[in-house]
Amino acid sequence: MDLGLAGRRAIVTGAGKGIGRAVVETLVNEGATVLAADLDPDCCAELDAMSNVRAAQVDMSAADAGNRLATLTHEVLGGLDILVNNVGAAPLRPGFLEVDDDAWRRTLDLNLMSVIRTVRAAIPLLSGSDAAAVVNVASTSGRYPEPMLVDYAASKAAVLSLTGALATEFGPAGIRVNAVSPGPTRTPLWDQPGGFADALAERHGLPREEAVAHHVRDVRKVALGRPATAQQVADAIVYLVSPRASHVTGTVLAVHGGMATHLM
Ligand SMILES: NC(=O)c1ccc[n+]([C@@H]2O[C@H](COP(=O)([O-])OP(=O)(O)OC[C@H]3O[C@@H](n4cnc5c(N)ncnc54)[C@H](O)[C@@H]3O)[C@@H](O)[C@H]2O)c1
């Protein structure tokens, strides 16, 4: 199926690994050109080596990140059709009382303020497109709060609310705004040393892979019994930013394999 993305210009944040990287690769395979933002210089070098991708080494939690990306987009792409606000981090917490103001601020700056600032800076560019689309990457945690991810879950709940407000305000201008809510997704967030998989192993007192399987099947109750791949989430994101979804706005597309706590 042709998604109608040939020649489209896109920004993807947190583009170096995991879901963001899969989104960049899929958009490029569909004929789009991408400005790919990431903090990690090695990731940026890899992205820069891809055709039709220009890397921007930007800390998306910084106050000026959105404006920097918009300026670069204007210079490099000459306009903008697609914005994928993907960047996010999920720090694991012992409990609410252990999360101080600085920690809350860091989480909110990266997971929520980066979306606010990037959309604000991108609106003038998106207004010039005849097929403008934004996808904000939220999380099932936004509707399934738990102490281990207390600040993360709150930030993602806010992203869901923001998505609805933006869709309502900018729909008349032809800018579609949707969210994708992944459930457990096997990315470097899980597999890096000290990542989610290691934390689950410690929490459940099981070997790593058994702990992941137990968490996905028995704790999060994923009907399909396994985590998503980054590509499975990227496919949902790329569908929503494509003209194939041209009458879809203000929705949340959940990619969680049938989590019992989130059905219907
Ligand atoms: N993996 C999951 O299980 C899962 C589940 C639900 C939602 N999500 C959401 O999906 C999105 C992507 O998650 P992922 O699992 O692919 O993450 P990941 O940790 O695998 O990759 C994140 C990327 O963002 C970059 N990054 C981190 N901090 C940055 C910063 N300050 N500025 C710029 N770039 C930065 C990293 O270098 C990396 O390339 C996040 O918003 C996350 O909350 C993930």
How far, in Å, CA of 210 to CA of 216, rounded? 10
| Dihedral class, residue 219 (left if φ above 0, else alpha if ψ from -120 to 50, else beta) | alpha
Given a cut of 90, whether residue 40 has pLDDT beyond it is yes
Query: Ligand 1 centroid to 175 CA: how many Å?
Result: 25
Please indicate whether residue 155, judged by its CB atom, sits closer than 6 Å to ligand 1.
Answer: no
For the chain, the average pLDDT equals 97
Tens digit of each residue's pLDDT (9 = 90 or more) over 126-165: 999 999 999 999 999 999 888 999 999 999 999 999 999 9
Structural contact between residues 35 and 77, judged by C-beta atoms closer than 8 angstroms: yes
Query: Ligand 1 centroid to 97 CA: how many Å?
Result: 25
The ranges assigned to domains in the chain are: 9-185+228-262
Please indicate whether residue 187, judged by its CB atom, sits closer than 6 Å to ligand 1.
Answer: yes
Q: Above pLDDT 90, what percent of the chain?
A: 95
Tens digit of each residue's pLDDT (9 = 90 or more) over 219-242: 999 999 999 999 999 999 999 999
Given a cut of 70, whether residue 243 has pLDDT beyond it is yes
Mean pLDDT, rounded, for 206-215: 96
Tens digit of each residue's pLDDT (9 = 90 or more) over 71-114: 999 999 999 999 999 999 999 999 999 999 999 999 999 999 99
pLDDT at 107: 98
Query: Ligand 1 centroid to 218 CA: how many Å?
Result: 24
Query: Ligand 1 centroid to 111 CA: how many Å?
Result: 9
Which residues 6+ apart lie within 8 Å of 106 measured at CB? 61, 91
How far, in Å, CA of 92 to CA of 242, rounded? 34
Could you tell me the maximum CA-CA distance found in the chain, to the nearest angstrom? 54
pLDDT at 262: 76
Mean pLDDT, rounded, for 183-203: 95
Q: Could you tell me which of 212, 235, 226 has the C-alpha nearest to residue 258?
A: 226
89 CB burial (10 A radius; 0-12, 13-18, 19+): middle
How far, in Å, CA of 54 to CA of 33, rounded? 8
Given a cut of 90, whether residue 183 has pLDDT beyond it is yes
Radius of gyration of the chain (CA): 18
- The yes-or-no answer on residue 144 being catalytic is no
Given a cut of 90, whether residue 264 has pLDDT beyond it is no
Q: Where do we find the tokens 């600032």?
A: 117
Mean pLDDT, rounded, for 175-181: 98
Q: Could you tell me which of 1, 2, 264, 6 has the C-alpha nearest to residue 131?
A: 6
Mean pLDDT, rounded, for 172-198: 97
Q: Above pLDDT 70, what percent of the chain?
A: 100
Higher pLDDT, 1 or 254: 254
3-state secondary structure of 227: coil
Please indicate whether residue 237, judged by its CB atom, sits closer than 6 Å to ligand 1.
Answer: no
Please indicate whether residue 189, judged by its CB atom, sits closer than 6 Å to ligand 1.
Answer: yes
Protein residue with its CA nearest to atom 41 in ligand 1? 88
Please indicate whether residue 87, judged by its CB atom, sits closer than 6 Å to ligand 1.
Answer: yes
- The yes-or-no answer on residue 152 being catalytic is yes
pLDDT at 128: 98
The pair of structure tokens assigned to 139 is 């999380």
pLDDT at 260: 78
Query: What CATH number matches the domain at 9-185+228-262, 3.60.20.10, 3.40.50.720, 3.40.30.10, 3.40.50.300?
Result: 3.40.50.720
pLDDT at 1: 87
